Amino acid sequence: MSRKSRKEFSQGFKRLFNSTNGKRIYPRAMKHELQFEDDLPFVTLQDDDRTVLTRGGELMQCIRVDGLNALTATDENIDGLKNRIAEIIAHAGTGHSFYVHKISKPFKPELAEVTQTGFAQDIDRTWRRHLQNRHLRDITLTITILNRPKKLQQTLQGFERIRAALSGNGETGWSHYTDDRGDRIQTLNDLMRIVLSATAGMNGRVLTGESGELVGFLEAIGTGTETVAWPSPEIAVLSRSVANYRPTFRGTKVIISGGSVPNRLGRIFAVKTYPRQANAGMFDELNLPADLVVTHSFVPASEDIVTERFQRTMRQRSGLGDAARTESETLGVGLDRLASGIETFGTHHMTVAVYADNETDLENASAELSQISQEGGTKIVTEAFSGQSHYFAQWPGNATYRARTGLISNRAFACMASLHRTPAGLAGASLPWQTPVSIFPTPGRSGFQFSFHPEGKPDAEPPAGHGLVFGPTGGGKSLLVAFLAAQLARVNARVFAFDYRRGLEVQIEALGGTYSTITADRPTGLNPLFAETDAIGQMWLGDWLSALLNRPDHPFSPVQIQAIHDAVAENASLPEHLRTFEHLVGSFRHVDDDGDLESRVREWTTGGRFGWVFGDNKTDSFALDEPVMGFDLTALLDSGQDKERTAILGYLFQRLERKLQDRRPTVIIIDEVWKALATDYFAEKLQNWLVTARKLNAVVLMVTQFPSQLEQSRAGLSMLQAISNQILIPNANARPEHYAALDLNQQELSNLLNGNGNARLALVRNQAASVMLNVDLSALGEDLKILGGGPAGRAALSRRLKSNTSQEDVA
């Protein structure tokens, strides 16, 4: 829009244009093109760096909120938010107007590359392409409140300024003006604090000029592209800082060009026909894979005006008979609610602006937008004449541009302008490992940055990132865990998997790791007497041996306890070839206990009941030297011998703790953890060990089918209550009691029990969010079979290895 070109009209059209009806029908801008900034209402940014003065004398501030995730929130939470916003509008009165903007933009997370060549890198590249093709979105939610000066006050202030100027006493008039402005800013500040309180938990913040968010938001209203921008210190009028591009109107399209954003096309729609009923989230389906700006504005009307309009409409309908009886009854109810103070009413204006890079994408998005709106009972239209007016009506302070308004209640406005948004997860800069582990789509076409940790700094002690994974057999639980294991390569994390029924064997090998089985028919290579000889090792060894040799029906005497600690100290001083259970037996022959300790130790020597665990091992060959390692513990976990589980699990986790001392990022996967927790010693130790692992920059990921399985042990129940990081895969065969320990809300439970047809979904819960993710990994193609494991995975891995070998031969 510029003054370089003007369009001359005929004399007849000029007379029509300047007539009473013409002024009502045709926008004044048709007379000649104006500078873009002339249609923006922003005058100055006040000294507080957050309040904007408009041409109409209004004072406005903007709040950015994260919103409420309606897909996992309870009905009580959704209605509670709606009611709080409605009550704020009612109590604010006619002196304030309200805008809510929902701006949809491309989801652009910062995800570190997987630099290690191999399977993990191939998985990551394929997944990135898939995410790019999904055109994932993110949205911003901004509430703008304008404090409107009273008309009488505006008139009196005008006369006062004229009188003061004529009398030469301009300072008095200016003093009155500044005092009034200060009072209004304070009133606005108080209202903003109430809004922030009403949206507690949504990370609400007031936008400021210094942050670049305020001007960036005001600019994005007209472009659909939000970036940071700052008010120019050389330009007094704030509108000039916002008008950084040129909108040109051609028919129903607006062309954005010549500015701070790439050239693009847009089209703006306005509501023509409202639905008969409003419900919270009624426009949540407007989540197209395109840049959108959804604007809701609400200007409260006085009770007298609303009453008169209701009564007039009721009189008009009364002569229509039965056909209008329902509508008249609805109007009567609204009039009663108005008179009783239950609701207030005002004029509502809603527009949806859609932007695209080319004509084809714009037409496709426009068609989909119209279809979605029609299915929701709302008719939206795009207009050539009024389109320009709708465009400028998007900005707060431009209420006079609103061409299609409807009279609605404050509660209906709170429903239509619902503050609903799917969480996007934590960005890398706020995470201890400085990058999300992976990105997943959501059912609402947005993206979620998945990470194990809550917010934290890389140079500080890591927060707890331990997690629980629940899902049915065959429901994709192991597949998802294997995918996350592959994605961990981006943080150069070690992965140690304690597997059950070889579910992760193929996946571990595909990631370049080693996989071994701990079973009675082959040497385990374990010998804690050989390895644990320093001060820390001796302390652990004494505690471990006491648990290993203990019998509940025959507890140790003080003499036996001392004998165990003496034997541990003696073992540390022995030559390496004597640090065996065979030799340890002799350490207890002198104990006056009728050979009790000696017989207990002898069970762990060659030929003893538990001799297969340590008896044949002269040294300790167990090593955790590979970055990815898997251990099949099926025989151990299925064993009815609690002693064997105590011996092996206790020692494995001691070795892990030793390995973690370098504080390299590590994830430890424990499959069918409920079986391991059936061992009292391991269950007790694991609770304490989780704290140690956290401090050593490790995450423990425990996998099982139902939370109810963990309730069978005291430690499991404690962990259910303490570990808030949970991944739950829907299970149509589950019952509510299976999830009772997790304290799920009704919506979360419904998502798990009912699922969503054939969609691959997972519920992720942590301290900051509860969100449904689309974990359909079919885009990975042939590599999906490898991640699934089993015979099909083994065959796919063989084909992959053969293909790689052939390519190397050709090279």
For the CA atoms of the chain, what is the radius of gyration? Answer: 35
pLDDT tens figures, 314-356: 666 666 555 455 555 665 666 666 666 678 989 999 999 999 9
User: What is the rounded distance in angstroms from the CA atom of residue 665 to the CA atom of residue 670?
Assistant: 17
User: What is the rounded distance in angstroms from the CA atom of residue 752 to the CA atom of residue 765?
Assistant: 12
Percent of the chain with pLDDT over 70: 87
Averaged pLDDT score across all residues of the chain:
89
- Among 189-203, 216-230, 704-718, 766-780, which stretch is predicted with the lowest mean pLDDT? 704-718
**Other C-beta atoms within 10 Å of 511: how many?**
27
Residue 441, helix vs strand vs coil:
strand
- How deeply is 658 buried, as exposed, middle or buried, from its count of CB atoms within 10 A (0-12, 13-18, 19+)? middle
The helix or strand, by DSSP H or E, that contains position 773, with its residue range, turns out to be strand 770-774
Instruction: Tell whether the model's pLDDT for residue 522 goes beyond 90.
Output: no
pLDDT of residue 358: 95
Instruction: Give alpha helix (H) positions in 394-491.
Output: 410-416, 477-487
Instruction: Give alpha helix (H) positions in 630-755.
Output: 634-638, 642-659, 673-676, 680-695, 707-710, 714-722, 746-754
Residue ranges covered by each domain of the chain: 1-34, 39-119+133-416, 525-620
pLDDT tens figures, 216-266: 999 999 999 999 999 987 767 899 999 989 999 999 999 999 877 889 999
Query: Do the strands 253-257 and 264-273 form a parallel or antiparallel pair, or are they unpaired?
Result: antiparallel
**Cα angle vertex 38, ends 33, 44, to 5°?**
170
Instruction: Tell whether the model's pLDDT for residue 453 goes beyond 70.
Output: yes
Instruction: Tell whether the model's pLDDT for residue 756 goes beyond 90.
Output: no
**Cα angle vertex 221, ends 218, 225, to 5°?**
100
User: What is the rounded distance in angstroms from the CA atom of residue 33 to the CA atom of residue 247?
Assistant: 11
Do the Cβ atoms of 111 and 439 come closer than 8 Å?
yes
Percent of the chain with pLDDT over 90: 72
How far is the CA of 314 from the CAs of 67, 199, 328, 329, in angstroms? 38, 37, 6, 9
Tokens of 496: 């140690």
Between 156 and 205, where is the model more confident?
205
The helix or strand, by DSSP H or E, that contains position 307, with its residue range, turns out to be helix 303-318
**φ and ψ at 272, to 5 degrees?**
-100, -45
Q: How many helices (H) and strands (E) does the chain have?
A: 30, 24
What count of Cα atoms within 13 Å lies in the side-chain half-sphere of residue 451?
31
User: What is the rounded distance in angstroms from the CA atom of residue 76 to the CA atom of residue 80?
Assistant: 6
**Cα angle vertex 323, ends 320, 328, to 5°?**
75
- Among 30-44, 99-113, 293-307, 736-750, which stretch is predicted with the lowest mean pLDDT? 30-44
> Is the pTM here over 0.85, yes or no?
yes
